[in-house]
Structure 1
Amino acid sequence: MLTASRCLLGKELRESVPGKLCELFGELDNGLHLISGLLPYLPIPAHRHRDRARQRLGEIITEVIRLRRNSSRGAAGTDENNDDMLQCLINSRYKDGCAMTDAEIAGLVVALMFAGKHTSSGVSIWTGVHLLSNPNHLAAVVAEQDRLMASCPGRTDDYHRLDYDTVQEMRSLHCCVKEALRLHSPVAAVRQAYKHFTVQTKEGKAYTIPGGHMVVSTILVNHYLPHIYKDPHVFDPQRFAPGREEDKVAGRFSFLSFSAGRHACAGESFSYTQIKVLWSYLLSNFEIKMVSPFPETEWSTVIPEPKGKVMVSYRRPLLLTTVVIWTALQKRKRGEACPAAVAPPPIVQGTALVRLLRAMARDGPLEVIREQLAKLGSVFMASAPLGLFKWTGNKHGSCNK
């Protein structure tokens, strides 16, 4: 949610009591059940908390809108935030020239932030669950990360900066995210029929939908149809690879996680990018294993989520070179200029480890240590599963819904 609020809606909402925002959106989330689609105003505690949270969110967002409208920064072209979605909504006009009201903008902002938090967090967890449960697919994604990071434009020997173009090249990771979406899509999409129309099934049976009626489309069922997806219950990211492309077998409505047609989700690209950046960072910096059983699905929510907690173990390998520390301390005793012996060390990415080992073989370990000392300071680190390296522990963490 914080990512969506900062990227789409500017720094004010990101910095406006972030803990309170998370709490309010949590109450909003807890008030969204399947029964809510049929009886949205059913007087139950979850709905009462939901309504109070929505009112408070509206007040917070309206205050930010008011400040932008009233400040000189709110004028188009003068605000450092005028390229975010909030400013676009403030500057937008209807065909008749009228501006949107604060209430209309606040409603759209809540929808954007809710979508950015609710769907992306759930899909991120499901992506990790399936990757950590399928070593072959995980190995393919990690290999892709190593290859792309090695050629990343912003990369140096000990640092890389992930850019947008590199994220778009992560095809293996993209297919894994898309497959997680297929297996754990929103339960249903609801639309209103504005005119009579007829739907014909694969078996040839016709159904007439009267105009004005609400239509509920079961997206999840659509994604498990065996005549579209081979072995639909199996996690198989390669079904989206060139040559198979099962998501196009039955036309543009074969894959509906982001809807399709005129009302397709405008945030599809942002969602994929957000999730891929998250898992790119995790897989590039940690070794992660799932230690809890494969989670069951919580079907009471509109978007199926893992039931309970997903427990993982993770470790981040560090190379602590005692010779370097000892040399730095000796230099300090002699009064020579030297970085602080216990300063926070930078991290040498795993993709740079090959160069480090080659240099050791070519020039000898002592020469490489001297070079790293001069370059990085008193302590340097690298990712490597070798006995001479010390790990920073083997901790357990959990991913909540």
Structure 2
Amino acid sequence: MQTQPFLQEYFSKWGESGTVDLKYELEHLIILTASRCLLGREVREKLFDDVSALFHDLDNGMQPISVLFPYLPIPAHKRRDRARARLAEIFATIIKSRKASGQSEEDMLQCFIDSKYKNGRSTSEGEVTGLLIAALFAGQHTSSITSTWTGAYMLRFKQYFAEAVEEQKDVMKRHGDKIDHDILAEMDVLYRCIKEALRLHPPLIMLLRQSHSDFTVTTKEGKVYDIPKGHIVATSPSFANRLPHIYKNPDSYDPDRFGPGREEDKAAGAFSYISFGGGRHGCLGEPFAYLQIKAIWTHLLRNFEFELVSPFPENDWNAMVVGIKGEVMVNYKRRKLVVDN
């Protein structure tokens, strides 16, 4: 799996022991991996620092007030718009270079370049740029936030960290140091730790859908609501994921709630768990997110011991994507996971 040498290279800059901000490290790591998978080799090798800074300005230009007044002439919006224009220039240059040279890469940028509409029209440079920006936001924000929450909870409730380490030992007994998609899929303990962190801290404040026909909703208490065609229906994952009639002790971190015999995420049907949305417009990046976070924490579990030394983090409600407030400081110490034969 190509991520293994990349992760080894990234974490090689850490010493034998020390203290780091886990939030910063995972944010930086995930934008690196996402940019390579989604934006292409040229950005990763030559333009990453520039593109990363521009995405930072784009990110800071997405504030709650932006929903109501997206073009309000505030400094954050002005920086956002300048960054968007500069990104368009960068990607236009890369697209023209690829087309002129005839080279083809295995990344999402190439997929967008080669895509055609039903009528045969190719995607324009502007359309490719917009798609890339949307893809990176989807592939970077939620993954970095969820990776950090996963680590914070496993370090707060150390029994789950220990269980995840034992799972790694079991996997290594079967497969050695090899890591691929199928091997990551065997890591049920780690999967449940990630999923539970995401249940408690879904990055999106609200999900919106438009009703295409009149329908009624009956609550479990028997109240009936009429939803007219054309109206916007909203739900909050933060609220829905903590409903006490679905989740036992909903405010507690309990990854085992998703395990065999409990499966609380199925208690009320397909939409009991909506951290990735659901239905026709559910998040297409869900498999990629789990793959990415599992790969990162597999490397960390196999190579480091950790201790959370800062207070347990809180939600940062000041952005469109709910992140983590402040630093998440951890002590680390290198150690190679040993498997008993």
TM-score by length of 2: 0.86
In 2, Cα distance between equivalents of 1:95 and 1:215? 31
In 2, Cα distance between equivalents of 1:207 and 1:100? 43
Residue 89 (structure 1) aligned to one of 112, 121, 142: 112
Q: 1:61 to 1:143 in 2, by over 3 A?
A: same
Give 1:149's aligned residue.
172
Q: CA deviation at 1:193?
A: 3.6
Q: 1:201 to 1:52 in 2, by over 3 A?
A: farther
Give 2:157's aligned residue.
134
Residue 209 (structure 2) aligned to one of 191, 195, 208: 191
The amino acid across from 2:326 in the alignment is G
The amino acid across from 2:153 in the alignment is H
Give 1:314's aligned residue.
332
In 2, Cα distance between equivalents of 1:228 and 1:252? 12
The answer as to 2:231 corresponding to 1:207 is no
Give 2:24's aligned residue.
none
Q: CA deviation at 1:263?
A: 0.9
**Which deviates more, 228-237 or 42-51?**
42-51
Q: CA deviation at 1:195?
A: 4.2
Give 1:378's aligned residue.
none
Give the secondary-structure state (helix, strand or coil) at the position aligned to 2:196.
helix
Give the secondary-structure state (helix, strand or coil) at the position aligned to 2:338.
helix
Q: CA deviation at 1:19?
A: 0.9
Q: For each residue in 1:159-191, what CA deviation from the matched residue of structure 2 results, as whole angstroms up to 9, or x when unmatched?
A: x23222211111000000000111001211133
Give 2:48's aligned residue.
18
Give 2:76's aligned residue.
46
Could you list the runs of 5+ residues in structure 2 that have no partner in the other structure? 1-30
The answer as to 2:54 corresponding to 1:36 is no
Q: For each residue in 1:228-262, what CA deviation from the matched residue of structure 2 results, as whole angstroms up to 9, or x when unmatched?
A: 11111000001111211111111111111111111
The answer as to 2:280 corresponding to 1:250 is no
Q: 1:191 to 1:102 in 2, by over 3 A?
A: farther
Q: CA deviation at 1:101?
A: 1.6
Q: CA deviation at 1:351?
A: 1.9
The answer as to 2:131 corresponding to 1:108 is yes
Q: 1:205 to 1:69 in 2, by over 3 A?
A: farther
The amino acid across from 1:289 in the alignment is E
The amino acid across from 1:255 in the alignment is Y
Contact 1:198 1:207 (C-alpha < 8 Å) held by counterparts? yes
RMSD (Å) for aligned C-alpha atoms? 1.8
Give the secondary-structure state (helix, strand or coil) at the position aligned to 1:151.
helix
In 1, Cα distance between equivalents of 2:151 and 2:74? 34
The answer as to 2:96 corresponding to 1:66 is yes
In 1, Cα distance between equivalents of 2:88 and 2:211? 30
In 1, Cα distance between equivalents of 2:331 and 2:243? 35
Q: CA deviation at 1:84?
A: 2.1
In 2, Cα distance between equivalents of 1:59 and 1:163? 36
Give 2:236's aligned residue.
218
The amino acid across from 1:297 in the alignment is N
Contact 1:31 1:46 (C-alpha < 8 Å) held by counterparts? yes
**Which deviates more, 34-43 or 180-189?**
34-43
Could you list the runs of 5+ residues in structure 1 that have no partner in the other structure? 74-78, 318-348, 356-401
The answer as to 2:268 corresponding to 1:267 is no
Residue 258 (structure 2) aligned to one of 234, 240, 253: 240
Give the secondary-structure state (helix, strand or coil) at the position aligned to 2:93.
helix
Give identity over the alignment, percent: 50
Residue 163 (structure 1) aligned to one of 164, 180, 194: 180
The amino acid across from 2:75 in the alignment is P
The amino acid across from 1:350 in the alignment is L
In 2, Cα distance between equivalents of 1:214 and 1:71? 47
The amino acid across from 1:165 in the alignment is D
The amino acid across from 1:351 in the alignment is V
The amino acid across from 1:306 in the alignment is I
The amino acid across from 2:141 in the alignment is H
Q: CA deviation at 1:9?
A: 3.6
Q: CA deviation at 1:210?
A: 4.0
